[in-house]
Amino acid sequence: MFFIPRNVSPQDKLQAVIEYLTGKGSQESIAKKYDVNHKSLSAWINNYKAFGETAFNRTGRNKNYSLEFKNTVVQSYLSGEGSF
């Protein structure tokens, strides 16, 4: 069985993440509610934790990150937080 991803609005992504983080359901139940794979919801949660609400803003271009932010990400990875 193949999963066909659907486009989810930034507002719905944020709402789904907030529902999960406030304990209104499991990743599986919230993913089902928004008709997405639970791995997609997990990625949204990780992006939200890393970038806040701006994680869901669509700019249509590559993002440029500050040296400070890049160093923070590398240090977090080296300390065992997250994954490659």
The pTM for the full model equals 0.64
| pLDDT score recorded for residue 51 | 87
Domain extents in the chain: 8-57
What gap in Å lies between CA 67 and CA 80, rounded to an integer? 20
| pLDDT score recorded for residue 15 | 96
Residue 65 pLDDT grade (very low, low, confident, very high; cuts 50, 70, 90):
confident
What gap in Å lies between CA 33 and CA 25, rounded to an integer? 10
Cβ 39 vs Cβ 74: under 8 Å: no
| pLDDT score recorded for residue 54 | 87
| pLDDT score recorded for residue 69 | 84
Question: Residue 64: is its pLDDT beyond 90?
Answer: no
| pLDDT score recorded for residue 16 | 96
Q: Phi/psi at 31 (nearest 5 deg)? A: -60, -40
Residue 35 pLDDT grade (very low, low, confident, very high; cuts 50, 70, 90):
very high
